[in-house]
Amino acid sequence: MQLKDLRPAEGSRKNRKRIGRGDGSGKGTFAGRGMNGQLSRSGGGKGAGFEGGQQPLAMRLPKLPGFTSHNRCEYAPVNVSRLDALFADGDTVDADALVAKGVIKHNYIPVKVLGTGELSKKLTVKVDKVSAAAKAKIEAAGGKVEEE
């Protein structure tokens, strides 16, 4: 066998259908579109998303109530009771420590400490936000709050 003898497998290659090229081609006259009607015309047919005259879904959705701000910042909430359970006395609580303990998934998510529960340990808390109740509980236990 030589390079000149190579051929594609039988039936693997097919010529494209040339429509509208005369009656002898088998696809002349109406070019496979049928005789009359909307679909036989150029540009005929309904557009994508047409729902038979019903108001299309894409036009209905913006009328639903509500608004979502593109600038909204979602914080990962952590309660002081969780900090009390997971951290030892004198530890520093920051995003990396919270990821290591499995409280949050990623260290780039902003964290807010909330005031639910009790805190009996002296902790240094370095997070993005701290609620007023949480700050009072942390400082009452002898800890420090450093908002970044």
Q: Is residue 58 part of a domain?
A: no
Q: Is residue 2 part of a domain?
A: no
Nearest in space to 87 (alpha carbons), one of 124, 116, 113: 124
- Domain count within the chain: 1
CATH code, 85: 3.100.10.10
Block residue for tokens 């709050």 = 145
What does each of the 148 residues of the chain score in pLDDT, given as a tens digit?
A: 899 999 999 999 999 999 999 999 989 999 999 999 999 999 999 989 999 999 999 888 877 788 888 999 999 999 999 999 999 999 999 999 999 999 999 999 999 999 999 999 999 999 999 999 999 999 999 999 998 8
What b/e string do you get for 124-133 counting C-beta neighbours within 10 Å, with b at 16 or more? ebbbebbbee
Nearest in space to 119 (alpha carbons), one of 103, 96, 142: 142
Q: How far apart are CA 93 and CA 53, in angstroms?
A: 59
Q: Is residue 138 part of a domain?
A: yes
Q: Which domain holds residue 137?
A: 76-147
Q: Is residue 121 part of a domain?
A: yes
Q: Is residue 136 part of a domain?
A: yes
Q: Is residue 132 part of a domain?
A: yes
Amino acid letter at 51? Answer: E
Which residues fall within 8 angstroms of residue 87, CB to CB, at 6 or more apart? Answer: 93, 97, 101, 121, 123
Specify the pLDDT at position 146. 94
